[in-house]
Amino acid sequence: MITIPVYDMIILPGITYYFKKDVFQELSIKDAQKGDEVLFLFMKEDRTREEMKEDDFYPIGIMGTYQGNDENGNISVKTTTSVDVRELTVTEDDMKVSVEPREEIEDITEEEKKEKFGQMKDALLKFVQGFQWGVMARGYILHWKTMEEVVSSLAGYLNLTNEEKYEILAADHLSIRTELIEKAVYEFMEMTRVGQEAENDQVESYEKVYREDAIKKQIDFLQKELDEMHPENVSDVRRFEKKIKESGMNEEARKEADKVLNRMKQEGKDSHEYGMLYDYLDFVTGLSWKKEDMKDVDLTEAEEILDKEHYGLKKVKRRIIQQLAVMALNRKQSGSILLFVGPPGTGKTSIGQSIADALHRKYVRVSLGGVRDEAEIRGHRRTYIGAMPGRIMDGMKRCGTSNPVMVLDEVDKLSKDYSGDPASALLEVLDPEQNSTFTDHYMNVPYDLSDVLFVCTANTMDTIPEPLLNRMEIIQFPGYTAVEKFQIARKHLLPKAMKTMGIKAQNLRVTDDAIRKIISDYTMESGVRGLKKQLNTLCRYAAVKLVKKEQKSVTVSPRRLQEFLDQKPIHHENILEEKKPGVVTGLAWTAAGGEILFIETMFTKGSGKVLITGQLGDVMKESIQIAITLVKSLYPEYSDKFKENDLHVHVPEGAVPKDGPSAGITLTSALASLVTGKAVSPEYAMTGEVSLRGGVMPIGGLTEKLMAAQRAGISKVLIPAQNVDDLDEVADEVKEKLEIIPVHTVEEVLKLLLNERK
């Protein structure tokens, strides 16, 4: 008996099966004779001959008879009946099997079988008509004689598992087997039909897509030809398509731009949203998305540019050169964010232009003064009508490059309200670790700001939030001395003013003494903005004279300045002409520079009340309370005066608000002078904060205060000992004209001023 293991097949009794001759060879079956018995055993899983075991077979098999070979050498086997496998032994070389015939219950008549077979055959013939291979399949169908032949021939195409195929064989009732066969064949036809319909629909869909793509390509080709013939008539969509393609955007930005462009195509020019979509695409395609190569930094050239365009500012220039040197070594934007702090007109903003020239980069200035809406920095979301990008990205579009020098002007003038905190929005902009993916709300895609060299300017640090201040390196811009102002006026301001007004050098002569008088009597600032205005006024006056041909040349001398400038000299507080108890000279810092001020105190009959005038702030009022306590402590013998009299403290000018702690020793000295009746010499001026322990603590703005003292004719200045290191930043010409006395305690101050030791 020849035993043949099979897998995933349907073999039923009463059918002739054809096998390729190599099947017998693979199973090592030799010398098979016609009429030999053949046993088909059904495997549960597909195994090789070497892997087969007894448990791998189902307990039912099919017996058949070997019929011989055809002309092609193929082998035919006619099946006879199903059998139960009783014993099975599998060895490396052979399979020994013991079987018994299996009884099948014929509970369906031959007529019923023929009728069902006829219906199935008709259904198959009708089914194959809808396929290209139907003609070939029709011959096979006509050749089939029983339902068993149908299902066995289609076994490889049926959507049945190996277990379901075996289930057909295992059915011992013919009616059940017939139902299983019908179910398998009809399901096959229906599933094939549905699959074909889906495939046809898919093909139609693909054909439609391919046709649409072909039409679009033809349209694009024709439109391109038209655009080349008439470039002035290029449509917005075509222009933006080209811009997006050439922009070098990152992937996220490209997707967003394509999305907006597709929407723009769908909306059409008549849509009310077309303008908004156009503005967005115009903005994002106008940005520079490509990273610029780092150019070589020539420090010698940079120093020459800074010296040529700005006089003085040695410390500032040195720090800028250091920043450029770091960038040259790293070959990329690196180093701290610089914050220039100083009075107006000291060159904070214009030095940003010089940095851009030294680096051969574009320069862009963004003014932040008065900004109180976070959207001004980060942009408005496009869902709002009138949405615009923030000032940072607007500046990036204006400069047209990805690595400009951007000056953020007046960061101390930011304010916040219900619209948000713009200073907080700047935190991401100025953080080198975060700004590589800065996302403007209007753009809604990240943009790389890491190559931008940010320079910030401010008049004071008091109003800048601490987190923002920590992201920047503070560089103080001191006020200019009179000598520096003279050099700036002579070398820069006057030639520029004459060029602007169209006046030639031979038509206007301004003497050195006239310039010095303008500086001393007609300006009162630390910077040179007021000086520039006065020189512009001189040039305009000369222009009128020249145009009217009243004079061929105009000479400006100190005597005629009031006539030329059409104004009186500005009044500066000068040294007191006479000394008086209770009046002491102090030094103050303002946004326009340094100034001297007088602390005036007076006792009047009363009950110990304290009256304060001169628009003093809370800090200065607290300094008065500290000063009163210190004087009572140092001069207990005079403490009754504070009970028996009312104390009036006044600081002129009354209309100007004043605040800060640096008037502490001035207030204490004035009260000590008042209670002792000893006047303080007018040649002294002072600045310093006091503590309740009597110590003198450091202050800010020392340079501007000393310049104000020197200008007012003061000869001796008392400063906190802890501010001695700050004297390095004070110009030598100022220090040479002043006797600067460092003090540690209030007792030192009073001993010096009142010649007493307490």
**DSSP track, 173-221:** BHHHHHHHHHHHHHHHHHHHHHHHHHHHHHHHHHHHHHHHHHHHHHHHH
Active site residues: 662, 705
Instruction: Report how far residue 685's alpha carbon sits from residue 586's, in angstroms, rounded to the nearest whole number.
Output: 5
Q: Which of 346, 355, 341 is nearest to 313 (CA)?
A: 346
Tokens encoding 342? 């100083």
Q: Give the C-alpha distances (Å, rounded to integers) separating 606 from 580, 609, 610, 644.
A: 22, 7, 10, 6
Q: Which residue has the tokens 């006065």?
A: 534
Q: Give the C-alpha distances (Å, rounded to integers) separating 424 from 55, 461, 468.
A: 75, 16, 7
Give the H or E element holding residue 247.
helix 236-247
Q: What number of other Cβ atoms are within 10 A of residue 653's Cβ? A: 12
**Contact indicator for 561, 570 with CB cutoff of 8 Å:** no
What single letter denotes the amino acid at residue 607? S
Tokens encoding 750? 């009073």
Residue 637 DSSP symbol: G
Instruction: Report how far residue 545's alpha carbon sits from residue 554's, in angstroms, rounded to the nearest whole number.
Output: 8
Instruction: Report how far residue 127's alpha carbon sits from residue 358's, in angstroms, rounded to the nearest whole number.
Output: 85
Q: Which residues pair with 556 in a beta bridge?
A: 510
Tokens encoding 703? 């340079």
**Contact indicator for 442, 379 with CB cutoff of 8 Å:** yes
Q: What number of other Cβ atoms are within 10 A of residue 101's Cβ? A: 11
Number of DSSP helices (H) and strands (E) in the chain, helices first: 27, 24
Q: What number of other Cβ atoms are within 10 A of residue 504's Cβ? A: 10
Q: Give the C-alpha distances (Å, rounded to integers) separating 4 from 24, 29, 315, 402, 727.
A: 8, 9, 100, 78, 109
Q: Which residues pair with 689 in a beta bridge?
A: 697
Q: Is 478 left (phi over 0), alpha (psi -120 to 50) or beta?
A: beta
Tokens encoding 408? 């953020």
